Chain A
């Protein structure tokens, strides 16, 4: 009888808190539909991992499936890199190819990464830990996992949960920051859409992933795996000869890896590892990273406007973060709220796609520079 009750008698308040966190993530996924594909498996996995003596996680010599998936897919970077193939196959870089200047916003909106990295260093974290915390600002789950996995494995669960949670909260985080930094007149600026009418040749679309891989891998070799997988996915899409593989990457691969990624991350959300002041600090710094990313993009656009004849709507700068396509949608909706006839969608999406590239390059820079 005692053996049957050992699970219940071993429950601590820490286990219950973690199960509560799991419940909140499930609620956010179902009721609020915030990144349900990730928050739902992470939430359920968190409950599963915090059952005392849970057979789902490794206990001494007994292997648990969640821990095995973590070792196989996360510690080797396999899952995040496979997700990048799927993302590459899903992204249409057409709007960016029509307006390549938008790439610069993809650089400016990475500011939050580096601001947060310095902040974390100020809080006493080591350089590697600070870099891993800063990368939450990449607003790009796979990049965050790859960097944190290399530099700060202990902080990986908190960093991953922060990255994915805040990505899903972009519609809540970005608008107040944008409104704070822009005037109503600035938010109503109309932008020239003529460049989006340009027809992009198939050869350009095929050469783009190859050229991007070559340039970025030669400059930042440590980013070769990240950018290479993203661009491989895009090459499959644009080549037009492997439609079956392209659809497979966009659907089956994306679905299976997302499912496994979420639940394996949860394996390390065990109370004794997760429930501490460091996690709270990381969650706090994660939101700062997103705020300063947004501010970096908006302020860069405002700076450019000092010199440009045809002004840029500074809200567009906020789309330079990698949270694709949430950030683009947020700015498009904000533009319509200010002026129902001002359609900024193509500008916002092209900038958002640039942010996807920017975040990967930022991850590569950090991997290369932080020894």
Chain B
């Protein structure tokens, strides 16, 4: 399900040509920034979901609660 999304993100060019101009570099920087920010939010959301799931699966025992 995620493959098309992942492959489209990973094929976005984030390199700049060797004869780079400032405009080329800025364009690449904007692209890297956009992908990175979306990626960071996605990873953090994954973490949050994982924490909630782990807490549901491993609730504190009565011993831990009373400690």
A127 & B29 in contact (Cβ 8 Å cutoff): yes
The chain B residue with its CB closest to the CB of A131 is: B32
Chain A nearest CB, measured from B39 CB (Å): 5
Q: Is the CB of B52 within 8 A of A361?
A: no
Kindly state whether residue A304 has any CB partner on chain B within 8 Å. no
B60 x A200 contact (CB < 8 A) = yes
Which residues of B from 1 to 54 have beta carbons under 8 Å from A? Answer: 14-16, 20, 22, 25-26, 28-30, 32-33, 35-37, 39-48, 50-52, 54
Q: Say whether A104 contacts B36, CB under 8 Å.
A: no
Q: Is the Cβ of B25 less than 8 Å from the Cβ of A127? A: yes
Q: Does A100 contact B (CB under 8 A)?
A: yes
A124 partner residues in chain B, CB cutoff 8 A: 22
Whether B40 lies near A365 (C-beta < 8 A) is: yes
Residues on A with C-beta less than 8 A from B50 are: 211-212, 215
Closest A-chain residue to B67, C-beta based?
A199
Shortest distance from the beta carbon of A202 to any chain B beta carbon, whole Å: 7
Contact A358 B39, CB 8 Å, known A125-B25, A127-B16, A127-B25 = no
A100 and B26 form a contact (CB under 8 A) = no
Chain A residues positioned under 8 Å from B47 (CB to CB): 100, 103, 211-212, 215-216, 357
The answer for the CA separation of A96 and B58 in the assembled complex, in Å, is 16
Chain B residues with CB below 8 A from A365, complex form: 35-36, 39-40
Whether A104 contacts B43 in the complex (CB less than 8 A), given A130-B25, A369-B35, A371-B15, comes out as: no
Q: Are B54 and A211 in contact (CB under 8 A)?
A: yes
Contact B44 A200 (CB under 8 A): no
The answer, among A208, A354, A369, for a CB contact under 8 Å with B54, is: A208
The count of residues in chain A whose C-beta lies closer than 8 Å to any C-beta of chain B is: 50
A216 CA to B45 CA, complexed, in Å = 11
**A291 CB, nearest partner CB in chain B, Å:** 17
Contact at B64–A202, with CB atoms within 8 Å? yes
Interface string of A122-152 (1 = CB under 8 A from B): 1011110011000000000000000000000
Tell me if A164 counts as interface (CB < 8 A to partner B). Answer: no
Q: How many A-B residue pairs have CB under 8 A?
A: 131
Q: How large is the interface on B (under 10, 10 to 19, 20 to 34, 35 or more residues)?
A: 35 or more
Q: Are B40 and A121 in contact (CB under 8 A)?
A: no
Contact between chains at B40 and A100 (CB < 8 Å):
no
Q: Which residues of B contact A130 (CB under 8 A)?
A: 25, 29
Which residues of B are found within 8 Å of A96, using beta-carbon distances? 51
Residue numbers in A under 8 Å from B43 (CB-CB) = 107, 215-216, 219-220, 361
Given contacts A107-B40, A118-B33, A215-B47, contact A204 B54 (CB under 8 A): yes
Query: Are B64 and A219 in touch, CB under 8 angstroms?
Result: no
A110 with B40: CB separation less than 8 A? yes
B64 to chain A minimum Cβ distance, whole angstroms, is: 6
Which residue from B29, B35, B44, B51 sits with its C-beta under 8 Å from A121? B29
| Interface presence of A309 (CB below 8 A) | no
B60: min CB distance to chain A, Å: 4
Would A121 and B41 be within 8 Å (CB), given that A101-B48, A202-B64, A366-B36 are in contact?
no
B19 → A minimal CB distance (Å): 12
Residue on A with the closest CB to B36?
A: A365
Known contacts being A107-B41, A201-B61, A220-B39, is A100 close to B52, with CB within 8 Å? yes
- Is the Cβ of A354 less than 8 Å from the Cβ of B25? no
User: Closest CB of chain A to B53's CB: distance in Å?
Assistant: 9
Q: B58 contacts which of A104, A114, A117, A204 (Cβ < 8 Å)?
A: A204
16 contacts between A and B (CB under 8 A): A100-B47, A107-B37, A108-B41, A126-B20, A127-B15, A127-B16, A127-B28, A130-B29, A199-B65, A204-B55, A204-B58, A208-B54, A212-B47, A361-B40, A365-B36, A369-B32
**B interface list, Cβ under 8 A from A:** 14-16, 20, 22, 25-26, 28-30, 32-33, 35-37, 39-48, 50-52, 54-55, 58-61, 64-65
Given contacts A106-B44, A118-B29, A371-B14, 6 further A-B contacts (CB under 8 A): A121-B25, A201-B58, A215-B43, A366-B32, A369-B36, A370-B32
Question: Which 5 residue pairs of A and B lie closest in terms of their CB atoms, listed nearest first?
Answer: A114-B33, A203-B58, A121-B29, A365-B36, A100-B48
